[in-house]
Copies of this chain bind each other. A is one copy, B any other.
Amino acid sequence: MKRSPHYSTRQSEAVLAYIASLDGRHITAAQILEHFQSSEGHIGRTTIYRQLEKLVEDGKVLRYSCNGSPGACYQYVGGIQSEEKNCHLKCENCGSLFHLEDEVAKEISRRLFEKKGFIMDNIKTVFYGVCSSCAKEESHV
């Protein structure tokens, strides 16, 4: 659980910059790999996986699987969660990511503790579902 200090390298900066530049959209590991194979600033596969691992540990990036397809997806959340350590809501329809107010998160967290003695990790926990805009659209169809 302890974190070693991170060195700043060309590769670590580039991976973070790239995934952060997606503005919250998610991307597959394969796509990241491909991006850094082709662009002039080549980065090895191993390094990319290891940087992603660190970003996930740091809570800057989320890792999850997209719809049963093999291969993980990554999504930058560093900007969202920097101040408050909030949970996220992930819309399975449009892919948008929302952050949950601290108040509600705490309430849920407390509930889980009372009922199950479970200490929720706000950074890692992601609620999946359908966001309000998508729910509206679906009801029209």
The size class of the interface chain A forms with chain B is 35 or more
Q: Contacts A68-B56, A68-B72, A92-B121 hold; do A132 and B108 have CB atoms under 8 A apart?
A: no
Q: Contacts A65-B64, A107-B111 hold; do A116 and B100 have CB atoms under 8 A apart?
A: yes
Whether, in the assembled complex, A126 has its beta carbon less than 8 Å from a beta carbon of chain B, the answer is: yes
The answer to whether A112 and B130 touch across the interface, beta carbons within 8 angstroms, is no
Residue of B nearest to A104 (CB): B115
Q: What DSSP secondary structure best describes chain A's contact surface?
A: mixed
The answer to whether B118 and A132 touch across the interface, beta carbons within 8 angstroms, is yes
- Could you say which residues of chain B place their CB within 8 Å of the CB of A60? none
User: Chain A residues in contact with chain B, CB under 8 A?
Assistant: 56, 63-65, 68, 70, 72, 89, 91-92, 98, 100-101, 104, 107-108, 111-112, 115-121, 124-132, 135
Partner of A124, one of B101, B117, B128: B128
- Could you say which residues of chain B place their CB within 8 Å of the CB of A120? 127-129
- Could you say which residues of chain B place their CB within 8 Å of the CB of A129? 112, 118-121, 124-125
